[in-house]
Chains A and B, each alone.
Chain A
Amino acid sequence: MDLLEYQGKQLFARHGLEVSSGKAVTNIEDAVAAATEVGYPVVVKAQVLIGGRGKAGGVKLAADEEQARTHASNMLGMDIHGHTVRKLWIEHASDIATEYYASVLLDRSAKQPLLMFSTEGGMDIEEVAEKTPEKLIRHHVDALAGLSREEAVKIATDGGADADVIEGVADALVALYEVWIQEDATLAEINPLIVTPERKVKALDAKVSLDGNALYRHPENQGLSDVENEDPIERRAKEQGVQYVALDGDIGILGNGAGLVMSTLDVVAQAGGRPANFLDAGGGSDAAKVKQAVELILSNESVKAVLFNIFGGITRCDEVAKGLIAAFEDLGAGGKSIPFVVRLDGTNDVEGRRLLEDAALPNVHAARTMNEAAERVVALARGDAS
C-alpha cells in the first residue's frame, strides 16, 4: 500500500523525524488559508503516487497569496502521468544547504532490510547507483538485532555526510529504520533529506509503502493510501476480499490462483488480445463468490468478452459453473450480450461442463484448453462471428 507524501511525512513525524509543518487541502480556498497559516513563502505540492511530479509542474514555490492561489488552481485537477491531482500539500518553504538521500527497503534477495544513504540527494537514485555507485552506501541491517546508533553514525560518516551533521543524519537514519520496522513498511524513502543553513536535518519528501498483510497490527494506518485515485472497481473488489487489478484492455479475465491468472493474461496477450483485468477468484471459491466476481468484471464498461480459465484443485469446477449460471440469471439481458469463453479443467470438471451445457446460456462458449480459450475470446472481443 503506497502512501502519499503527506501521509508518509505524518508517519515520519510520529517517529521523531523532522518535517515541515503543513496542511493537506482539496480546494483553492483551503489552499490559500493553509498557506497563510503555515506562513509564506510556501511550497504547493501535488499529492500523487507517481514520480516526476516536479518536472510536470506539480511542485511550486509561492511567495504570496496571489501565487499560492494561482499554483493551487493550476494544480488541482491536473493530470500527472495518468494520475489526477485531487489533493495538495502546503508546507512552509525550507531553506536548503545540502541535499542527501536515505531509504530502507526489503532486500528480497539477501532477506534482510537494506539501508541506503547518499550525499547525492534530490536525484534519481537508480541513476546514482548505476553511474556513481561509490556515492551510494548500501548497508544490510540485521533483521533480528535492528539498527544501532553506532551503525547509523558509521553509515553517515562513510557516506560522506558533512562532519557537523553526522549526529543529525544518524538520528534521521535511526528514526527512518524505526518507521520501517514499527509501521511494517516495505519501503521508507527520503529524497531529499536536507540540511538547512541552520544545520538541521529534515525530510523534505516522503515515499512510504506499507505491507497490506500487516495492517491488522496498525488500525491507525488503515485509512491511508490514495483512496480517491484508486480504480473504483479495484476498491470495491478490495472491500469484497477479491484480488482484482484493473488493466487497460477489453477482455475480462477470471481464473483461480495468482500464477494461473497471470499466465492467462500473457496467453491472451500472445493471442493478440488485451486483458481488461486480473482477477483471482482464489482457491475453493464457491458459486456466490464466482457470481460476485462476474459482476465486478462486467462493471467495467470496456469489457467486450470474458474468459474463465479454471484449473480446479481445491476449487471445484461445478461450483464455478453454478456461480456463472447464477450470475446470468441475475444480470438480465444487458449482461448476456457479452460473450463468455469458459475453460474448466480439474476437480469435478465433467460435472461443471455438464451443468453449463444443460443451462444452455446464451453466448457462453466452452473451450477445452487454455490456448484454445484465449484464441476464442480474442476473436469474440474483436466481434468475429463465433
Chain B
Amino acid sequence: MAVLIDNDTRLAVAGITGREGSFHTLGNRRYGTNVVGGVTPGKGGQDVEGIPVFDSWADAARETQPNTAMIFVPPRFAADAILEAAAAGVELVIAITEGIPAHDELRVYNTLKRDFPGTRLIGPNCPGILSPGKANVGIIPASFFKEGNVGVVSRSGTLTYQIGNEIAQAGFGNSSIVGIGGDPVPGSSFVDIIELFEADEQTELIVLSGEIGGSAEEEAADYIAEHVSKPVVAYIAGFTAPAGKQMGHAGAIVSGSSGTAAAKAQALEAKGVRVGRTPTEVAELAVQILRG
C-alpha cells in the first residue's frame, strides 16, 4: 500500500524547466514515477524530454489530471505555486524549496486550511517522499532503499538516509519515507503522517526522526500514546545545540527553554516510545523489534 505516493501517482512539477527541477524530475521518472506534466509560466507548449510544460496549474490540471504536485521554484515564488496547484484541485503538494519566508508559510498553511481543505502539503524545505518499488517524488536517493514494512517520517533528509540505510543493511525495507521538512511552519506534521502509517497495511513499524525547535515531537508523543498500535522508535538530533542558534534548518532552534532535544526525547519516552541515542542505535532498536 505505502502512503501518499504509489503506482497511482500522477505527478506534475512546478519549476520543471529549471536546472534542479528538470534533473530531479527526470530522476523521479526513471525510478518509475508517472510524471504527467510541468508548469513554468511563459514556457507553455515546450517539453522536458517529452514531459509537456504548461503556463499555469489550471492548464496542467485540465490537460494531464495530476494528483500530485512537486514544487521546485525559488523561495519567493513558492507560496503562490503551492496555492495555485491547490486551486487547480491537486490533492497532494510536495514542496522541496528551501528558504521560504515564515510568513509566507503561515499564509499558505492557513489558506489551504480555509479554502482548500482537500489538499495536503508536505514540506516545504523537505526531500520529498519515496515509496520504494512504487514511486519517488523529490530528491531522496532511491538506490539505498528497498520495499519493506518500515515507515519513516523525518524533519531531515540526510539523517533519514543515515538511519534508513542502516535499517536496509540489516535486510529490511520501507513502506514509505516521508520528509516533512525543517521549516517552522510545515504543511504536515509528524502526527499527520503517523496517522497514515498507522492505517497503512504495509507498515509494521514507524521510525520518527525529529530535531530541536517547536513542539511537533511532543505532540506526536501524545498522539502515539492515544492512537497508535504499531511500534514506534524515535531519534532526536540537537542535544548539543546551543539555545538561540539556528542549526541549519530555519525551524531548528531552541527558543529560551523550549524546543530542546532533551525535552522531546523525554516526552516520547514518557509515552513509551523508544528513543535511540545515535542513528545507529535507532536502527538497531528498529531491527530488534522487526526480528521479534
Closest to A216 in B: B76
A86 to B182, CA, bound (A): 34
A213 to B209, CA, bound (A): 24
B128 to chain A, nearest CB (A): 11
A68 to chain B, nearest CB (A): 32
The interface residues of chain A lying within 8 Å CB-to-CB of B204 are: none
Interface residues on B, range: 35 or more
A213 to B161, CA, bound (A): 26
Closest to A187 in B: B255
Asked if A211 and B103 make an inter-chain contact with CB atoms under 8 angstroms apart, the answer reads yes
Q: Does B199 contact A (CB under 8 A)?
A: no
Residue in B103, B141, B249 whose beta carbon sits within 8 Å of that of A313 in the complex: B141
Q: Does B247 contact A (CB under 8 A)?
A: yes
Asked if A369 and B280 make an inter-chain contact with CB atoms under 8 angstroms apart, the answer reads yes
B30 to chain A, nearest CB (A): 15
B181 to chain A, nearest CB (A): 11
> What's the count of A-B pairs with C-beta under 8 Å?
170
Closest to A262 in B: B237
Asked if A258 and B249 make an inter-chain contact with CB atoms under 8 angstroms apart, the answer reads yes
Given contacts A280-B248, A313-B158, contact A109 B215 (CB under 8 A): yes
Asked if B209 and A259 make an inter-chain contact with CB atoms under 8 angstroms apart, the answer reads yes
Residue in B140, B158, B280 whose beta carbon sits within 8 Å of that of A259 in the complex: B158
A213 to B184, CA, bound (A): 12
Q: Does B228 contact A (CB under 8 A)?
A: no
Asked if B279 and A263 make an inter-chain contact with CB atoms under 8 angstroms apart, the answer reads yes
The interface residues of chain A lying within 8 Å CB-to-CB of B247 are: 245, 258, 261-262, 278
A104 to B201, CA, bound (A): 44
Residue in B99, B159, B245, B246 whose beta carbon sits within 8 Å of that of A263 in the complex: B159
Q: How many residues of A contact B (CB 8 A)?
A: 52
Residue in A211, A266, A311, A312 whose beta carbon sits within 8 Å of that of B102 in the complex: A211
Given contacts A113-B106, A213-B75, A256-B158, contact A266 B139 (CB under 8 A): no
Closest to B261 in A: A266
* Contact string against A for B residues 96-140, beta-carbon threshold 8 Å, 1 for contact and 0 otherwise: 000111111011011100100000000000010000000000011
Given contacts A111-B110, A245-B247, contact A265 B241 (CB under 8 A): yes
B13 to chain A, nearest CB (A): 16
- Indicate the member of B99, B162, B216, B249 with the most A CB atoms within 10 Å: B162
Q: Does A28 contact B (CB under 8 A)?
A: no
Q: Does B18 contact A (CB under 8 A)?
A: no
Q: Does B257 contact A (CB under 8 A)?
A: yes
- Indicate the member of A113, A262, A313 with the most B CB atoms within 10 Å: A262
Asked if B238 and A262 make an inter-chain contact with CB atoms under 8 angstroms apart, the answer reads yes
Residue in B162, B185, B246 whose beta carbon sits within 8 Å of that of A370 in the complex: B162
The interface residues of chain B lying within 8 Å CB-to-CB of A2 are: 244
CB proximity to B under 8 Å, residues A126-143? 126, 142-143
The stretch from B44-52, B65-73, B85-93, B149-157 touching chain A is B149-157
Q: Does A283 contact B (CB under 8 A)?
A: yes
A256 to B76, CA, bound (A): 24
Asked if B156 and A257 make an inter-chain contact with CB atoms under 8 angstroms apart, the answer reads yes
Q: Does B211 contact A (CB under 8 A)?
A: yes
A212 to B249, CA, bound (A): 12
Q: Does A58 contact B (CB under 8 A)?
A: no
A143 to B109, CA, bound (A): 10
Q: Does B221 contact A (CB under 8 A)?
A: no
Given contacts A113-B106, A143-B107, A143-B110, contact A263 B249 (CB under 8 A): no
Asked if A347 and B158 make an inter-chain contact with CB atoms under 8 angstroms apart, the answer reads no
A365 to B257, CA, bound (A): 38
Asked if A111 and B185 make an inter-chain contact with CB atoms under 8 angstroms apart, the answer reads yes
Asked if A109 and B240 make an inter-chain contact with CB atoms under 8 angstroms apart, the answer reads no
A256 to chain B, nearest CB (A): 6
Given contacts A258-B252, A263-B278, A278-B248, contact A313 B240 (CB under 8 A): no
Q: Does A255 contact B (CB under 8 A)?
A: yes
The stretch from A170-178, A267-275, A323-331 touching chain B is A267-275
Closest to A245 in B: B245
Asked if B102 and A259 make an inter-chain contact with CB atoms under 8 angstroms apart, the answer reads no
The interface residues of chain B lying within 8 Å CB-to-CB of A224 are: none
A260 to B164, CA, bound (A): 13
Residue in A258, A263, A346 whose beta carbon sits within 8 Å of that of B141 in the complex: A346
* Contact string against B for A residues 78-119, beta-carbon threshold 8 Å, 1 for contact and 0 otherwise: 000000000000000000000000000010110111000000
Asked if B110 and A144 make an inter-chain contact with CB atoms under 8 angstroms apart, the answer reads yes
Asked if A112 and B106 make an inter-chain contact with CB atoms under 8 angstroms apart, the answer reads yes
Asked if B252 and A213 make an inter-chain contact with CB atoms under 8 angstroms apart, the answer reads no
Q: Does B250 contact A (CB under 8 A)?
A: yes
* Contact string against A for B residues 18-45, beta-carbon threshold 8 Å, 1 for contact and 0 otherwise: 0000000000000000000000000000
Asked if A247 and B242 make an inter-chain contact with CB atoms under 8 angstroms apart, the answer reads yes
Asked if A213 and B158 make an inter-chain contact with CB atoms under 8 angstroms apart, the answer reads no
The interface residues of chain A lying within 8 Å CB-to-CB of B154 are: 259
A124 to chain B, nearest CB (A): 10
Residue in B155, B162, B219, B256 whose beta carbon sits within 8 Å of that of A311 in the complex: B162
Q: Does A360 contact B (CB under 8 A)?
A: no
- Indicate the member of B242, B257, B279 with the most A CB atoms within 10 Å: B279
B224 to chain A, nearest CB (A): 17
The interface residues of chain A lying within 8 Å CB-to-CB of B155 are: 259
Q: Does B173 contact A (CB under 8 A)?
A: no
Asked if B239 and A269 make an inter-chain contact with CB atoms under 8 angstroms apart, the answer reads yes
Given contacts A144-B114, A259-B158, contact A109 B75 (CB under 8 A): no
CB proximity to A under 8 Å, residues B265-282? 277-280
Given contacts A143-B107, A256-B158, contact A270 B248 (CB under 8 A): no
A213-B101, A265-B238, A347-B141 known, 19 other contacts, Cβ within 8 Å: A106-B185, A108-B184, A111-B185, A213-B100, A213-B102, A257-B248, A258-B182, A259-B160, A259-B182, A260-B156, A262-B156, A263-B279, A265-B240, A278-B245, A278-B248, A280-B248, A313-B158, A371-B278, A371-B280
Residues of B bordering A, CB below 8 Å: 75-76, 99-104, 106-107, 109-111, 114, 127, 139-141, 144, 154-162, 165, 182, 184-185, 209, 211-216, 219, 235, 237-242, 244-252, 256-257, 261, 277-280
